[in-house]
């Protein structure tokens, strides 16, 4: 199936590695071009190189908490590739710890990046899109059910799912789609950090997934690329789990 991605342009935050980079790879492989951002210069440069260089991808070094980032992404897409068709807004997971254990400072920092940074980017990009544009917010299955030991995520992700729905209502009449993606366990650096070298912990995590395995980032990337593409042109205002069946809600 042709997803209709050829020559379309997307901006992706937090995309030098993990699920964001996997999505960038899938978009570029189907003919799209991308503008990605992340906080580490070396990782941004490496990601751009692996995506094929400036004919296919360019990168900005920035933190999602930076209020100027969304407008910079929009401008970069227009100046380098001549158009903008959508975005994948992703940010690294907040610090682990229960809601009672994490400090006020950790709550504030995570709110600025995970929550406000995501909202700011989504609304800035949405304002610049025309009919057929799409925005995906990378959230977590914690948007539907709490994950033990991830109190900040449990607090912020459900709110972002509500924001995605609200934005889809606002921008839908202009033909702009907004949706959430709820990744479960994937073999990213974040999950390697959470699981460590504990074979028992990994086995326990896999036992709770009906497919009995942790996902490969490319499996998420393919779903995200489809949802951002014109092929998914009637999908908006929903949060789509990509979790191997781990969520128990219908």
**CATH at residue 51:** 3.40.50.720
| pLDDT tens digits, one per residue of 106-163 | 999 999 999 999 999 999 999 999 999 999 999 999 999 999 999 999 999 999 999 9
Q: Tell me which residue of 222, 244, 227, 241 sits closest to 22, measured CA to CA.
A: 222
Q: What is the pLDDT of residues 179-212, one digit of tens each?
A: 999 999 998 877 777 677 778 888 888 999 999 9
> Is 103 inside a domain boundary?
yes
DSSP notation for 17-82: SHHHHHHHHHHHHTT-EEEEEES-HHHHHHHHHHTTSTTTEEEEE--TT-TTHHHHHHHHHHHHHS
Domain of residue 47: give its range.
9-242
pTM: 0.95
User: Would you say residue 25 lies in a domain?
Assistant: yes
Structural contact between residues 198 and 190, judged by C-beta atoms closer than 8 angstroms:
no
Q: How far apart are CA 182 and CA 27, in angstroms?
A: 19
SS3 content of the chain, % helix, strand, coil (to 5): 45, 15, 35
In a domain, 28, yes or no: yes
Q: For residues 231-243, give the mean pLDDT.
A: 98
The total of structural domains in the chain comes to: 1
Mean pLDDT of 208-230: 97
150: nearest Cα among 207, 217, 109, 100:
100
Asked if the structure places residue 89 within a domain, the reply is yes
Strands 9-13 and 239-242, sheet pairing: unpaired
Q: For the residues 75-85, what does the mean pLDDT come to?
A: 98
Residue 4 located in a structural domain: no
Selection from 17, 7, 2, 18 nearest residue 215 by Cα = 18
Phi, psi of 237 (to 5 degrees): 70, 15
pLDDT score for 191: 72
Largest CA distance in the chain: 50
Candidate from 38-47, 138-147, 198-207, 226-235 with smallest mean pLDDT: 198-207
The reply to whether 249 falls in a domain is no
Beta bridge partners of 180: 137, 239
Phi-psi region of 175 (alpha: psi -120 to 50; beta: other; left: phi over 0): left
């Amino acid at each position: 199936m042709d997803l209709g991605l050829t020559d379309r342009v997307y901006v992706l935050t937090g995309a030098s590695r993990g699920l964001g980079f996997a999505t960038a790879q899938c978009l570029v492989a189907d003919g799209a071009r991308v503008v990605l951002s992340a906080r580490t210069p070396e990782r941004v440069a490496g990601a751009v190189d692996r995506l094929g260089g400036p004919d296919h991808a360019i990168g900005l070094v920035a933190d999602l908490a930076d209020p100027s980032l969304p407008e910079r992404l929009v401008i970069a897409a227009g100046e380098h590739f001549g158009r903008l068709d959508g975005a994948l807004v992703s940010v690294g997971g907040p610090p682990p710890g229960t809601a009672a254990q994490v400090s006020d400072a950790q709550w504030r920092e995570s709110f600025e990046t995970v929550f406000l940074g995501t909202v700011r980017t989504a609304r800035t990009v949405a304002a610049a899109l025309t009919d057929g544009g799409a925005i995906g917010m990378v959230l977590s299955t914690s948007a539907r059910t709490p994950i033990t030991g991830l109190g900040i995520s449990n607090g912020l992700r459900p709110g972002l799912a509500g924001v995605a729905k609200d934005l889809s209502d606002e921008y839908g009449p202009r033909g702009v789609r907004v949706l959430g993606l709820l990744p479960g366990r994937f073999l990213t650096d974040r999950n390697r950090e959470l699981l460590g070298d504990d074979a028992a912990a990994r086995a326990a995590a896999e036992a709770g997934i009906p497919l009995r395995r942790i996902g490969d980032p490319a499996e998420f990337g393919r779903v995200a690329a489809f949802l951002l593409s014109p092929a998914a042109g009637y999908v908006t205002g929903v949060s789509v789990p990509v979790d191997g069946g781990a969520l128990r809600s219908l």
